[in-house]
A and B are shown apart, each in its own frame.
Chain A
Amino acid sequence: EDKVVQSPLSLVVHEGDTVTLNCSYEVTNFRSLLWYKQEKKAPTFLFMLTSSGIEKKSGRLSSILDKKELFSILNITATQTGDSAIYLCAVEGGTSYGKLTFGQGTILTVHP
């Protein structure tokens, strides 16, 4: 059975701090790993990673994948209160295309 585990489950920081969120996975026929930000409702897409060692960046957010050790990290630098959300990691793999297996999420709270 495909498995995605995120850590920590929750994190409380102050504005300006840097945070690292972790995602480890066990999935057959890995194809991609995706990060989403979930605020009030819909998960909004952040990154998709398919190759090891290539960092993806968008502003203060960056992410990297290690396919040998089966994990990914999401970094957020200079955090702002607007970064408060649940960050979801999802993996696509197995025998079917497109099916995402999600982790339980990391709840990030950024205090002013």
Chain B
Amino acid sequence: EPEVTQTPSHQVTQMGQEVILRCVPISNHLYFYWYRQILGQKVEFLVSFYNNEISEKSEIFDDQFSVERPDGSNFTLKIRSTKLEDSAMYFCASSASGSGYEQYFGPGTRLTVT
């Protein structure tokens, strides 16, 4: 069964460093998303991406964040200068369409900023 994959599963970085989280969405899906979940809190929407551009972003997704689809399979989230409060589980999701279709989530990358 097709699934969303994410690498790495766990990333430890120092404050101020740049990190890139990688995702491979399900191959025939067209819409891609990043969500995050701070420990003990709700899953929060960060950004949606379609047709090589951002469709929507939340207020969390400030200038420190960027997304890219560098090739036909990968979808990346970059955090330019990490802060302690960026420590969270980051989930990538994909769906066949932007509305009315279920989103499938990857296993997540746990980001720890020290």
Query: Residues on A close to B: CB < 8 A?
Result: 31-32, 34, 36, 41-45, 48, 50, 88, 90, 92, 96-105
Q: Is the interface of A mostly helix, strand, loop or mixed?
A: strand
Interface size on B, residues (CB 8 A): 28
Instruction: Check B42–A98 contact: CB distance below 8 A.
Output: no
Which residue of chain B is the closest to A2 with respect to CB atoms?
B45
Known: A41-B89, A41-B108, A42-B91. A98 touches B44 (CB 8 A): no
Q: How many A-B residue pairs have CB under 8 A?
A: 67
Known: A31-B99, A42-B91. A99 touches B48 (CB 8 A): yes
Instruction: Check B105–A43 contact: CB distance below 8 A.
Output: yes
What's the minimum C-beta distance from A40 to chain B, rounded to whole angstroms? 8
Instruction: Check B43–A97 contact: CB distance below 8 A.
Output: no
20 A–B contacts, CB within 8 A, in A order: A31-B99, A31-B100, A41-B107, A42-B4, A42-B91, A43-B43, A43-B91, A45-B103, A48-B100, A92-B99, A96-B48, A97-B55, A97-B56, A97-B99, A98-B33, A99-B45, A99-B56, A100-B33, A103-B42, A104-B42
